[in-house]
Chain A
């Protein structure tokens, strides 16, 4: 493990700053974090959306939110044909919290981490509550083309629908493949999925 106590002792001479700016925080992160595995230093650079949400404490003005959402909407790529995959594979993806960390194998398929924040299948009691419950999602909202498109898009880039959402942009960030996202759409919408029982 790399350490920098000695370096930190030197850095401590930096002047005290009240309410550091995003740029200053970014400089601190560049100094005090180091790359490990696939977690490289470029991840420290904020994009425009992250900066806007940080500055707004995740509560952007309606006008700003609208502009950010429109920009994010343009990142969504819909595949040809059906948006519904295999709910069984979707359930496994929803369970898995792996992917993109320095301890995950680079290139190995990621999971969706869905149960970390959402209630889905009734048999899984260990679910998080940061996001809304998705129980009976397809049953209450239907599973026509419009709903399919919405669910696919929401998983692909949640920020296109809510600018400062806490949900990762799972497609835009390259976490999940289009096939995987289709499997998650099936988990939510397929009448045979346990989510809709």
Chain B
């Protein structure tokens, strides 16, 4: 496999004014976080695929791969119930992007992880429990 590599150059932020949903990311409960992203009452859906280990030997790095088969998915958000700030990320997929993302997240402890997909003004959710354990000697 041949990749293309380049090194970053620090340069001025050129995108449109970067928006960051302070209220949603500052929420301390999943319920408030969901409210913050307009996903109250999300309907459970089998069309959101969450690929993640059931046990993570380190809460500092928990890999999660998400794809949505809900037609017209425009965003995917990750909410971890037991984290101090449950909303971890929200990805908006514009024209040309597939509703897919793989990301490593932190988990303070064993918790339900909710993945929210939004499509056509509606919200859908899939949940998965991930256990966090101690990997090695603990010293």
Interface residues of A, Cβ cutoff 8 Å to B: 95-98, 101, 103, 113, 115-116, 125-126
Contact = CB atoms under 8 A, between A and B. Distances in A.
7 contacts: A97-B138, A101-B139, A113-B137, A113-B138, A115-B138, A125-B133, A126-B57
Contacts of A95: 138
Interface centre among A96, A101, A103, A126 (most CB of B within 10 A): A126
Q: Size range of the interface on B?
A: under 10
Interface string B110-139: 000000000000000000000101110111
Given A125-B55, A126-B57, A116 B138 contact: yes
Interface in B49-104: 55, 57
Contact of A125 (B131, B138, B139): B131
B25 to A, nearest CB: 31
Is chain B's interface secondary structure helix, strand, loop, or mixed overall?
loop
A178 to B, nearest CB: 23
Given A115-B138, A125-B133, 6 more contacts: A96-B138, A97-B138, A97-B139, A113-B137, A116-B138, A126-B57
Interface in B13-51: none
Interface of B: 55, 57, 131, 133-135, 137-139
A95 B133 CA distance: 12
A177 to B, nearest CB: 19
A126 B135 contact: yes
The 7 A-B residue pairs whose C-beta atoms are closest, nearest first, are: A126-B133, A97-B138, A97-B139, A126-B134, A97-B137, A125-B133, A116-B137
A187 to B, nearest CB: 17
B137 to A, nearest CB: 5
Contacts of A97: 137-139
Contact of A98 (B131, B133, B134, B139): B139
Nearest to A128: B137
Contacts of B139: 97-98, 101, 103, 113
Nearest to B57: A126
A115 B135 CA distance: 11
A116 B134 CA distance: 10
A36 B50 CA distance: 47
A10 to B, nearest CB: 34
A98 B134 CA distance: 14
A120 to B, nearest CB: 14
B132 to A, nearest CB: 10
Contacts of B135: 126
Nearest to A95: B138
Nearest to A116: B137
Contacts of A103: 139
A126 B131 CA distance: 11
A125 B135 CA distance: 10
